[in-house]
Amino acid sequence: MAVSVTTPTFTHFLSHQDYPSYTEQQHATWAELVSRRMPQLARHAAEEYLEGFAVIGLRTDRLPVLEEISDRLAPRTGWSTVPVTGFMPGHAFFEMLAQRQFPTTTWLRQRDSLEYTPEPDIFHDVFGHVPMHAHRVFANFLQRYGQLCAGIQDEAILERIGRLFWYTVEFGLIRQHGQARVYGSGLISSAGECTNVIEGHCEIRSFSLQEVLDTPVQVDQMHKLLFAIESFDQIYESLQHIEDRIASGQAV
């Protein structure tokens, strides 16, 4: 009897990085973006982010080669950085995370949009996200998050669990050496969001899974409230709590 094989949804969005097509102007734009962020991050980024930056071999003067990053990540955490065509629907995104593949756009913002771009580019995806994939606990959390969400059809539950992703992977903080340090990609890649936190315009509360799940995401303004973990074990364990709730029929 023939066995049908279902092709993963994400395969329709896979692309390739045409590295030779990047212009010297684009490399210069990358260099300027990095040079703008690193002085602040050297003082306020999580140790794990700064270590990951070195591990994956990000250059400050040239755009990254995704295949080379994957070669560095694979023996450490099993993750790869995979070029995609652009925005992906949720299920395809979750499928990729579940396989330790991080979908990465290959386009770079124009020089007149250095401070902000409405959709993620290679600077946000690689500079913002990928260094954290070198940290084993965080890497395990991200895969487990993808596995969990890929198996959920209820959009309301996905929206609730999505708040955990938003307040950790995108806008997460961790307490280190007496201060809240940034590790979420939205804080790492954005001077405005990071400065908003550093200068005290954003309340920082200790991470509470229930409070995170009860805090709606607002994408059209600077954050007024974010959450700081004590260790990355906290966010990994939070997924177990969510899985237990779902298995027992409790509300998420």
Question: For the chain, which residues make up each domain, given as ranges?
Answer: 9-247
Q: What is the pLDDT of residue 3?
A: 43
Catalytic, out of 189, 190, 223, 238: 189
CA-wise closest residue to 162 among 97, 82, 220, 105: 97
Catalytic, out of 135, 170, 193, 223: 170
Catalytic, out of 48, 70, 129, 193: 129
> Is 133 labeled as catalytic in the residue annotation?
no
The rounded distance, in Å, linking the Cα atoms of 97 and 117 is: 23
Tens of pLDDT along 194-237? 999 999 999 999 999 999 999 999 888 999 999 999 999 999 99
Q: What is the pLDDT of residue 54?
A: 97
By the 10 Å C-beta count (0-12 exposed, 13-18 middle, 19+ buried), 4 is classed as exposed
- Sequence-distant (6+) residues with CB within 8 A of 98 are 143, 146, 147, 150
Q: What is the pLDDT of residue 204?
A: 98
CATH T-level topology, domain 9-247: Phenylalanine Hydroxylase (1.10.800)
Report yes or no: 97 and 143 within 8 Å, Cβ to Cβ: yes
> Is 177 labeled as catalytic in the residue annotation?
no
Q: What is the pLDDT of residue 8?
A: 74
Q: What is the pLDDT of residue 113?
A: 85
Distance of CA 234 to the CA centre of its chain: 17
Q: What are phi and psi of 204, to 5 degrees?
A: -115, 115
- Which segments of the chain have a pLDDT < 70? 1-7
By the 10 Å C-beta count (0-12 exposed, 13-18 middle, 19+ buried), 18 is classed as exposed
The rounded distance, in Å, linking the Cα atoms of 153 and 105 is: 26
> Is 129 labeled as catalytic in the residue annotation?
yes
> Is 32 labeled as catalytic in the residue annotation?
no
Catalytic, out of 124, 133, 135, 223: 124
Q: What is the pLDDT of residue 6?
A: 60
